[in-house]
Homo-oligomer: A and B are copies of this chain.
Amino acid sequence: MKFTKDDSQNYNCCTDFSDSILRYLNEDQKMLLEVEKQCSVHKKNDIVYHEGNKPHGVYLIEQGVLKIYKTGNDGREQIIRFAKKGDLIGFRSVISNEVLCSSAKVIENCRVCFISANVFLNFVKENSEFSMQLIKLSCKELGESNKFIIDLALKSLRERLAEVIILLTDTFGLDAENFIQVVLTREDIANIVGTATESIIRQLSDLKREHLIDLKGKRIKILDLNKLRKISGL
């Protein structure tokens, strides 16, 4: 389990919360946060937190991409979702005061801002607007998780892969050439879709053969989003 922490903590980061839930903190809380926050930098494959451990606090993603996943008994991992700039992670376990039920691993080098459990819980207790927004956030995530359950239970591999490609497109956007702006291994994709790496490779080349996507190494280029949407059953 690798863990890298940059020494230069608490340099001037996280000063802009405008696109995160922290924008709902009041002025006093924002000032407190400036003092209490602990920023750090993590490299690809670093593990920011690991399931089974006690949560020490929450993390706001300043920059970069992480995967949030759980590991099964046989070691296979299932990716639950991704976190990127502006996302708050780790609050579920802090709120419900349970051990962490998932791990967070860096996919693209990132900068995160740590807020200790105490400080965070006080923010929630003392600020009804913030707590309302946090309920909304957890309800939104709950809705997404429930949708995920349906997908896994009721959809075929092909349908799920099409849906994941759309999800990645929505989450990370496309560049000028219509490539999805994130680089994942085939194994990562398999671990989102919930299948074997080889199966993903076969399904991807099917989609390429049908001219719905194109493949350049690990990068995926979107050719026909509408047909993908149709396949995914949305």
A residues near B (Cβ < 8 Å) are 70, 72-74, 76, 78, 80, 91-93, 95-96, 98, 101-102, 124-125, 128, 131-132, 134-136, 138-143, 145-150, 152-155, 194, 233
Q: Which chain B residues lie closer than 8 Å to A152 at the CB level?
A: 149, 152-153, 194
| Chain A interface mostly | helix
Q: For A149, what are the chain B residues with a Cβ–Cβ distance below 8 Å?
A: 70, 78, 80, 145, 148-149, 152
Structural contact, A135 and B131, CB atoms closer than 8 A: yes
A216 to chain B, nearest CB (A): 28
Q: Does A72 contact B135, Cβ atoms closer than 8 Å? A: no
Residue of B nearest to A191 (CB): B153
A135: chain B residues at CB < 8 Å are 95, 124, 131, 134-135, 138
Which residue of the partner chain B has the closest CB to A131?
A: B131
Q: How far is the CA of A76 from the CA of B131 in the complex (A)?
A: 37
- In the complex formed, the residue of B with least CB distance to A138 is B138
Contacting pair A143 B98 (CB below 8 A)? yes
20 further A-B contacts with Cβ under 8 Å, apart from A145-B148, A149-B152, A152-B194, are A70-B149, A70-B150, A78-B149, A78-B150, A92-B139, A93-B143, A95-B136, A95-B139, A96-B139, A96-B143, A98-B143, A124-B135, A125-B128, A125-B132, A128-B128, A134-B135, A138-B139, A142-B142, A142-B145, A153-B194
Cross-chain contact A140 with B96 (CB below 8 angstroms): yes
Chain B residues whose CB sits within 8 angstroms of the CB of A141 once the complex forms: 142
Contacting residues, chain B, for A93 (C-beta < 8 A): 143
Residues of B within 8 A of A102 (CB): 146
In the complex the two chains form, is A92's CB within 8 Å of B143's CB?
A: yes
Most buried by B among A101, A138, A140: A138
